[in-house]
Amino acid sequence: MDNLEIISLWKQYDEKLEKTISLNHKLIAELQQQKAKSALKPARNYKLIAIAVGVTYAVTVAYFWYHLNSLASLFVNLSIGIHLAVIVIAIGMYIRQLVLISEIDRSENVLQMQHKMAKLRHSTLKVIGICFLQFPVFATWNISFELITEQPWAFWFIQVPILGLFTYIGVWFFKNIDIKNMDKRWFRMMFYGAEWSSILRAGNFLKEIEDFEKS
C-alpha cells in the first residue's frame, strides 16, 4: 500500500468520522429540543387552568358589577373597574403565553426556541407584576364621600396611609419581579410551582445545546 492509498483511506475515515460526529450532534440537539418541549407541558396546563378560572372569575365580577352599578359609590365602581381591567389583561397575557408555547412546539431552530422562551419567561413574570398593580384598589373600595367629609381624620390619617402603603407594595413588586432577582429568597418563594419550574427546565435544556455547540 503506497502513500497515496494511505492518504486516501485516511481522508475517507475523516469524512466518515465527521459525518458521524455531525449526526450525533444533530441527534443530541433534537433530543434536547424534545426535552424542552416536553418540559413545557406543565406550564401549558397551568396556563389553561388559569385562563379558565380567570374567565369564570371575570364574568362573575362583571355580573355583580353590572347589578351593583346603580347602587355602589363612585369609589366602589372605580375599584371594581380597575380590578376587572387587570384580570382581562392577565387573561390576554396568558393566552399570548399559550401561543408562544405552541410556537416553541413547532419550532425546529434552537435560536428561535431560545428567543421565544425568553419572551415566555418575561411574560410569565410580567403578568404577576401587573396583577400587583391592582393592589391599591383593595384599599379604595370602602372609600366614600361621607367618609371624606364627615370623618376627615379617619380618611387622612388611616385610609390614605393604608392606600399609600398598598400602592407602594404594588409598584415595588411590579418593578422588582424580574429575572435579575430570581436568586433572591422572596422571588424563589413566589415562583416555586410547576409552571415556573417547567419554564426554567425547558430553558436549561436549550442552554445545554448552546453549551454543547460551543464545546
Categorize the per-residue pLDDT at 4 as very low, low, confident or very high, splitting at 50, 70 and 90: low
Region 130-156 average pLDDT: 90
Q: d(Cα 140, Cα 192) in Å, to the nearest integer?
A: 31
Closest CA to 86 of 131, 116, 40: 131
The CA R_g of the chain, rounded to the nearest whole Å, is 27
Categorize the per-residue pLDDT at 157 as very low, low, confident or very high, splitting at 50, 70 and 90: very high
Q: d(Cα 97, Cα 122) in Å, to the nearest integer?
A: 10
Please give the single-letter amino acid code of residue 132.
F
What pLDDT does 204 receive? Answer: 77
DSSP string, 124-144: HHHHHHHHHTTGGGGGTTT--
Q: d(Cα 35, Cα 201) in Å, to the nearest integer?
A: 9
Residues 97-106 pLDDT 10s: 999 999 888 8
- As a whole number, the mean pLDDT across the chain is 83
Task: Give the count of domains, the chain.
Answer: 1
Model's pTM, two decimal places?
0.82
Closest CA to 95 of 131, 44, 133: 44
What is the DSSP secondary structure assignment for residue 179, as one 8-state letter?
G
Q: d(Cα 38, Cα 42) in Å, to the nearest integer?
A: 9
Q: What is the rounded end-to-end Cα distance, in angstroms, of the chain?
A: 37
Q: d(Cα 193, Cα 188) in Å, to the nearest integer?
A: 10
**What domain range is 12 assigned to?**
3-214
Residue 131 has pLDDT above 50, yes or no: yes
What is the DSSP secondary structure assignment for residue 40, as one 8-state letter?
T
Region 84-104 average pLDDT: 94
